[in-house]
Chain A
Amino acid sequence: MSTTTHQWPLWEVFVRSKNGLAHKHVGSLHAPDSEMALKNARDVYTRRSEGISIWVVPSAAITASSPDEKDPLFAPSDDKVYRHPTFYDIPDEVGHM
């Protein structure tokens, strides 16, 4: 039933506004390729304003840093490389959550 075999990959979108200094991460979207990703990003995240620079990057190409050791939620036992999207398996809920 699921169409994962035809899933369009996830892209992260970064936008620098007309007078902005740097690209900011604004969200993600699914697109089949970079050209469509760029067009869709323009439609969704900029509502087609002028003078905007957009970067789209496959989410799988992004490596994110872990919280450092001093962070209260740093979990030293968790040595999974967290890529976005993660392949974290969430089992079905048992009863109510």
Chain B
Amino acid sequence: MGETHSLEDRFQAFVEAENKVEPKHWMPDGYRKTLVRQISQHAHSEIVGMLPEANWITRAPSLRAKLILLAKVQDEAGHGLYLYSAAETLGTSRDQMIDDLHSGKAKYSSIFNYPTLTWADMGAIGWLVDGAAIANQVMLCRTSYGPYSRAMVRICKEESFHQRQGFEIMMHLAKGTPEQKAMAQDALNRWWWPSIMMFGPSDDQSPNSAQSMKWRIKRKSNDELRQEFIDKTVPQAEFIGLTIPDPDLRWNEETGHYDFGTINWTEFFDVIAGNGPCNAERLAARQKAHDEGAWVREAAAAYAAKQASRSARSPAQTHAA
């Protein structure tokens, strides 16, 4: 056991020196498990996150908007794929991760349990939800696990584009007809608080945070990230002439940050526990896609098996599709 003890110490020194941990390195069990949970939940968030936006693809009000939204949602699918791929390097499997999502064992970001009610929600989600995600994701580019950090670098490149598009939608609506401006303000009213809740409760309430920080998985605290996001976003709202629905929001000259109102953590925990507006619908949609796709996956697997045994029997004969 002396051996294990020194491995733990060496691991700690290794990550503190900003080295990247790779799949074939020794790692503490807890490190591996935490990452499997975190990366897979991040992946699930991307996939479930497709649904509220996909909801408006068929109703987009212009061809360009339709194309941009479709491309954005497809990007999110791709991000989910990069993340599942990173998680699989730690020994879990896609099937296992999907099962855990559908059974409720694995979580996904609470924000995606809210409904998208108007086109302005597409703007609000890009601006606020992707904006909040970016704050977290830029930090994760420096996470200690190599495959996760590399996936995040790729994701971050694509994500800033999404946030800009969302902001442009909001800006355009805010400068549009009175109905459009009202639509934008209404979307901001509904999405603001859930967005700042995305960062999670204060770290003193998160028992996992301290260990994640120690292992350099997490690089900044929830509160730091939340403050960063608010400081960046308030001027943006002012710029486009929309009002953030927080009467306690004010600039604090002393701290150089915005003070903001009390977050309703009860709502957050209710949604996490499965009682948000759309939890059931989101999971049902994912479960349905999975169940109805089973025969398709089986067919392709069966064909591949047949092809393999055909080429084993006579290597020269493979079809040209």
Contacts and interface: CB of A to CB of B under 8 A. Distances in A.
Q: A and B: direct contact (Cβ < 8 Å)?
A: yes
Interface of A: 1-4, 6-8, 10, 27-30, 32-33, 35-36, 44, 64-67, 71-75, 77-78, 82, 84-90, 93, 96-97
A97 B81 contact: no
A1 B208 CA distance: 30
Contact of A6 (B81, B85, B86, B298): B298
Contacts of B86: 27
A85 B93 contact: yes
A72 B85 CA distance: 26
Which 9 A/B pairs are nearest by Cβ-Cβ distance?
A88-B91, A32-B300, A75-B26, A73-B25, A33-B304, A28-B85, A32-B304, A27-B85, A86-B91
Interface string B2-33: 01000100110110000001111111001011
A73 B11 CA distance: 6
Contacts, number: 103
B186 to A, nearest CB: 34
Interface string B23-67: 111110010111011000000000000000000000000000000
A3 B24 CA distance: 27
Interface stretch (B94-102, B121-129, B254-262): B94-102
B93 A4 contact: yes
Interface string B266-310: 000000000000000000000000000010011011011001000
A66 B25 CA distance: 8
Interface of B: 3, 7, 10-11, 13-14, 21-27, 30, 32-34, 36-37, 78, 81-82, 85-86, 88-96, 99, 102-103, 151, 207-208, 211, 294, 297-298, 300-301, 303-304, 307, 321
A8 B297 contact: yes
Looking at chain B's contact residues, the main secondary structure is helix
Contacts of A87: 91
B151 A72 contact: no
A85 B25 contact: no
B103 to A, nearest CB: 8
Contact of A44 (B78, B207, B304): B78
Contact of A3 (B21, B22, B81, B294): B294
- Chain B CB count within 10 A is highest, among A10, A32, A78, A82, for A32
A8 B300 contact: yes
Contacts of B10: 72-73
A86 B92 CA distance: 8
A25 to B, nearest CB: 9
B144 to A, nearest CB: 12
A73 to B, nearest CB: 4
A97 B95 contact: no
Contacts of A1: 99, 102-103
B26 A78 contact: yes
A73 B7 contact: yes
A13 B207 CA distance: 37
A30 B78 CA distance: 13
Contact of A27 (B82, B99, B298): B82
B107 to A, nearest CB: 13
Interface residues of A, dominant DSSP = loop
A88 B13 CA distance: 25
B156 to A, nearest CB: 15
B91 A85 contact: yes
Given A2-B95, A72-B10, A36 B24 contact: no
A6 B294 contact: yes
Contact of B24 (A6, A8, A82): A82
Contacts of A73: 7, 10-11, 14, 21, 25-27
A77 B240 CA distance: 61
A71 B297 CA distance: 42
